[in-house]
Structure 1
């Protein structure tokens, strides 16, 4: 699985890839089962050769699509910088740690160095060349599920951590780095307007999938059911004889309508509510009979419910309000936020 991350620790635009993969290969053997063959970890020379190959392939691709122009002496970007509707100005300032907006536009972002500088030599599964870096030194054994979970949480963390975000007495936005830089930098400071510009530069383009699946764990893999504990996927032995409750025919992969998604997805996973279950008889006998999208019809239905169920303590429909009342006990959880 690959997660495309667009941000650095200082809220700078830094596109990089976090990849989870097996240290080996799974293939189907001759007797219908699967066999896993482990490979040894790469050495430093292997990493240098690999990052060199990756950097050249990326450069050739960017040149092929017209984003990079190359002449006899140097290479340069070919981007529509004068386009007023694009975010290239904000993205360029974010990449180069520059201030994008305000009277100090073009200057370096103000940083705070509270630790002594350190030198870090290249070693092991780490390589740097031509501005590209590659690291493959983090791994989890089969008997270390907690370590694998921490790794998954780290690579899927959000762009910003509220625990490390604060305001100074002078109205500046102060953001603490998750890991100090080698020169001792621990904090960066932005004006409120430039802070919004930094966040805007991190927004991915529309219709861009930032999570990619590949190999035997991909949803469309023929071997996924044989190598996963849930045995879900194509050719799953658990789903051979299962009958669909509503259609009364063998299970088959099908897409859900937009009306079915909140019923079977968000309501059950987030709120622990099964909308298909009747409140009185506790049976799964509730089904979608209509999809009402006309705003006038919706308003008529809501007015009727307001008349039938007035706003009282025993009312079926609660009154419309914004934040929850203090008398209710809500527990808020922030998943994948590791700023502490």
Structure 2
């Protein structure tokens, strides 16, 4: 299976320093960090490290690998990537392609699939992001309800000892760069059962509109009850302003302010603090979140929505690959960004909003603020496996395509003994470029010979010396110093939460 282009393309080294996203962050990150420190609300270390890694990702001055042709001795260099999982367009694209390739080639059996997309009320999104235990409970509850639907259908069809299968992907963002934790569940559209020692798939009737309506209502009621039990909602379902947060968020007011503003579509810092994000397009309409349009197998109730109309049949593996790419995609594309004449950032929306809005406008520091809110906290799971795909499921080795592959691609005959025993690796950039775009970075563009790795250059002085010898930029792109007027800042976190989460 391949979703590559039909013709081969030449590899061109990416130049992140030429993109609008890089230029905005390099030009204004120090200002944003300095302003938060002046307010005595410094950013958490994991956020700062994420941005610092982005500014080094793909930059030759920070290290690279030397490749040399075994035939003509021509050389090529490839910059290191950061492999972070936040907002970086390039690394997120690699993770997206890696997930789609791994799942379709190594994991997902040849059966039909259906996507369930569940979104949550705006106030609950804050707690889903700031408390990992609560988020895990909510996402597990949703998965169990979907499994309960399949088990009920199996029971009605006379199928006993049935087991569904689901892979749950967490997306933390919306198309407006707003914080919007929601989940995409890739479900086997049927169940597995055992006949002796054999795991056999059984088809079920597609979910109906009435069943979708019942399912989303059940999810809404159960999540509401859980929120009351855990102290995130009052007995009447009202939002509680001071429930338990993870320690990381308790200690960083700047982060919680950015999160609250991101969820509500407002600005947290600077002269526009408290204002809604500026919009370009229609002159009137609803200024809050645009509600999901109801359609076939799509229902919403009390702020919860459930969409289940995307299904893939057994043999449409190309379509399954594209669906997983969509589910595993990153939050930002460089193509959607534009720096306008006054230095502000214009973000193109993927679809026209119901009020006519086509673009959003941010100052550079407002744009960075939105990326801060989208940076995933450390040790937070983005993918969860359930049912026949669960790590402890007795079905897992029987239904997955290649159970010996835990992660990455199958090693060939030249693999080391350790690799053959299970020391698996992620896909490399070269594998992903070949898989998706038919770009082979291991072949010499001059003579067609094989490119072999010579060494990895990690020492800055050695990298500088080698790049200078080649006539390439040997200095990392410059970063602008802080540019803001020192002054007094007044901030009351309780007032902020009350205003933006009510």
Q: Which residue in the other structure is 1:98 paired with?
A: 266
Q: Which residue in the other structure is 2:394 paired with?
A: 222
Give 3-state SS (helix, strand or coil) of 2:353's partner: coil
Count of residue pairs the alignment pairs up: 272
Tell me if 1:170 matches 2:342.
yes
- Partner Cα separation in structure 2 for residue 141 and residue 173 of structure 1: 42
- Partner Cα separation in structure 1 for residue 390 and residue 252 of structure 2: 40
Give 3-state SS (helix, strand or coil) of 2:226's partner: helix
Tell me if 1:112 matches 2:280.
yes
Larger radius of gyration: 1
Which structure 2 residues correspond to residues 169-318 of structure 1 after superposition, within 5 A? 169-232=341-404, 246=417, 266=428, 269=431
TM-score normalised per structure 2 = 0.47
Q: Which residue in the other structure is 1:7 paired with?
A: 173
Contact 2:281 / 2:356 at 8 angstroms: preserved in 1?
yes
Question: Deviation digits for residues 223-267 of structure 1, max 9, x if unmatched?
Answer: 333323335369xxxxxxx9x9647xxx866x67xxxx6xx8658
Contact 1:221 / 1:233 at 8 angstroms: preserved in 2?
no
Structure 2 unaligned regions, length at least 5: 1-166, 407-412, 434-439, 443-457, 474-502
- Residue of 67, 70, 85 corresponding to 2:234: 70
Question: Deviation digits for residues 91-135 of structure 1, max 9, x if unmatched?
Answer: 111111111211111111111126998998633210111111110
Give 3-state SS (helix, strand or coil) of 1:138's partner: strand
**C-alpha displacement of 1:193:** 0.7
- Classify 1:57/1:36 alpha carbon distance in 2 versus 1 (closer, same or farther; 3 Å): same
Which structure 2 residues correspond to residues 118-129 of structure 1 after superposition, within 5 A? 122-129=294-301
Contact 1:7 / 1:159 at 8 angstroms: preserved in 2?
yes
Contact 1:225 / 1:233 at 8 angstroms: preserved in 2?
no
- Classify 1:228/1:115 alpha carbon distance in 2 versus 1 (closer, same or farther; 3 Å): farther
Q: Which residue in the other structure is 1:285 paired with?
A: none
Q: Which residue in the other structure is 1:336 paired with?
A: none
- Partner Cα separation in structure 2 for residue 93 and residue 119 of structure 1: 18
**C-alpha displacement of 1:219:** 5.0
Structure 1 unaligned regions, length at least 5: 235-241, 275-297, 307-316, 328-340
Question: Deviation digits for residues 152-196 of structure 1, max 9, x if unmatched?
Answer: 111111111111111111111111111222222111111111111
Tell me if 1:88 matches 2:252.
no
Contact 2:224 / 2:233 at 8 angstroms: preserved in 1?
no
Give 3-state SS (helix, strand or coil) of 1:189's partner: strand
TM-score normalised per structure 1 = 0.67
**C-alpha displacement of 1:40:** 1.6
Which structure 2 residues correspond to residues 31-50 of structure 1 after superposition, within 5 A? 32-50=197-215
Tell me if 1:145 matches 2:311.
no
- Partner Cα separation in structure 2 for residue 5 and residue 98 of structure 1: 20
- Partner Cα separation in structure 2 for residue 73 and residue 157 of structure 1: 33
Question: Deviation digits for residues 24-63 of structure 1, max 9, x if unmatched?
Answer: 0012212x22211112222222112211221222223333
**C-alpha displacement of 1:7:** 0.3
Contact 1:51 / 1:127 at 8 angstroms: preserved in 2?
yes
- Partner Cα separation in structure 1 for residue 184 and residue 235 of structure 2: 33
Higher helix share: 2
Question: Deviation digits for residues 191-237 of structure 1, max 9, x if unmatched?
Answer: 11111110000112211010112232345543333323335369xxx
Q: Which residue in the other structure is 2:191 paired with?
A: 25
- Partner Cα separation in structure 2 for residue 165 and residue 109 of structure 1: 15
- Partner Cα separation in structure 1 for residue 212 and residue 329 of structure 2: 26
Contact 1:2 / 1:20 at 8 angstroms: preserved in 2?
yes
- Residue of 59, 63, 67 corresponding to 2:224: 59
- Classify 1:111/1:318 alpha carbon distance in 2 versus 1 (closer, same or farther; 3 Å): closer
- Partner Cα separation in structure 1 for residue 284 and residue 242 of structure 2: 39
Contact 1:109 / 1:190 at 8 angstroms: preserved in 2?
yes
